[in-house]
């Protein structure tokens, strides 16, 4: 999806903010990924299959071909991080979902991210922190509504 010219300044600001939030934080999350022998693409797939998804949906989400996504899923399933099952409606279609073991790993990574973001935010002055909190809360609510609406429309098709 292309951003409009109106969105470009905001996009640049969000990108700049995220770069600053990530600066120096790799020491918190990268060791977890390395220890788990997990690539960022595999991590993105695992986070995506928190809700059951098809292999085709995973492929589209992470930008891989269906065969490449299937191979990646096979590796993750072999390590017990996700579970594959046949679709209830079409036995040719496989559904994947994160396992308890995979969820434990995702929670560790999420905690490391949260610690990294908390460290970044801790240096903000209280007035700036309050304004950022209010703006982020409003943005998150609007994005959640948009995603829920999109999900309902996709299911209706």
Interval 132-150: pLDDT, tens = 999 999 999 999 998 887 7
What is the dihedral angle through the alpha carbons of 101, 102, 105, 109, rounded to the nearest 10 degrees?
-160
Distance of CA 91 to the CA centre of its chain: 28
Please say whether the beta carbons of 43 and 109 come within 8 A.
yes
pLDDT of residue 1: 47
Q: Of all residues in the chain, what percent carry a pLDDT higher than 70?
A: 91
Whole-angstrom distance, CA of residue 58 vs CA of residue 2: 22
pLDDT of residue 88: 75
Higher pLDDT pick, 11 / 156 = 11
Q: Which has the closest alpha carbon to 136: 6, 53, 1, 13?
A: 13
Q: Which domains are seen in the chain, by residue range? A: 8-136 (1.10.10.10)
Residues 48-77, mean pLDDT to the nearest whole number: 95
């Amino acid at each position: 999806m292309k951003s409009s010219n109106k969105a470009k300044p905001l996009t640049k600001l969000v990108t700049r903010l995220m770069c600053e939030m990530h600066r120096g934080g790799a020491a918190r999350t990268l060791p977890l990924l390395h220890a788990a022998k997990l690539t960022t693409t595999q991590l993105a797939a695992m986070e995506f299959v928190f809700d059951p998804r098809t292999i085709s949906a995973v492929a589209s989400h992470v930008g891989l071909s269906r065969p490449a996504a299937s191979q990646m899923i096979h590796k993750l399933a072999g390590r017990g991080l996700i579970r594959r099952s046949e679709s209830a409606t079409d036995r040719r279609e496989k559904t994947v979902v994160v396992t308890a073991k995979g969820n434990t790993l995702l929670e560790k990574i999420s905690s490391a991210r949260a610690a990294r973001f908390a460290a970044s935010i801790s240096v903000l002055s209280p007035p700036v922190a309050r304004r950022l909190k209010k703006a982020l809360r409003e943005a998150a609510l609007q994005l959640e509504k948009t995603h829920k609406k999109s999900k309902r429309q996709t299911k209706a098709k």
